[in-house]
Amino acid sequence: MNVGDLLDARVLGPDGVPLGVVVDVRLALETRDEPDDGPGGREDREDREDSEDRKDSEHDAALSSRARRDAVGGAVVLGLLVGPRRAGSYHGYERTQVRSPWPVPQIVRRLHRGTYLVRWQDVAAVDDGAAAGAGGWSVRLAPGYAELPPELG
């Protein structure tokens, strides 16, 4: 099973009622403590270690203090984000606090109102849609599943 198989799969309730589609797959990434960035961080250049080493390390330091970057280990599946429609472009606004540039986030949020998180334990079956007329991948939720808020922690 691949993440790409789950994305855009139809989501069915325990009784087979269509609920929407899988918008995203939520994972928990193990993070490691790491005082030093170590070698190789960024878009770094080969073949020039000798002459421009110093500049390189400055480069790395300047960058890593800006964008988020973690040392990571294993990635465990936590659950599925279920939305009313395919995520399409610029997905993710409904799960973050970003509000600018107006009006892009506002429009995307409107399109994805009603997205919720379902725990992986509450997924009863994943069907690959190989059977005739099944119409692609689908996911069936277990009885008593909970609709959790979709925000990223």
State which of positions 66-105 bind another protein (CB under 8 A). Answer: 66-72, 74-78, 81, 87-92, 95, 98, 100-104
How far apart, in whole angstroms, are the C-alpha atoms of residue 112 and residue 97? Answer: 14
Q: Find out whether 120 and 153 touch, Cβ atoms under 8 Å.
A: no
Confirm or reject binding of residue 107 to another protein (CB under 8 A): no
Q: Which of 15, 16, 35, 54 binds another protein (CB under 8 A)?
A: 35
Beta-carbon contacts of 145 under 8 Å, excluding residues fewer than 6 positions away, are 14, 118, 119, 122
Pairing of strands 10-12, 138-141: parallel
As measured in angstroms, the least distance from the Cβ of 72 to another protein is: 5
Pairing of strands 116-119, 138-141: unpaired
As measured in angstroms, the least distance from the Cβ of 22 to another protein is: 10
Site string for another protein, 112-141 (x = CB under 8 A): --------xxxxxxx-x----------xx-
Residues in the interface with another protein (CB under 8 A) total: 74
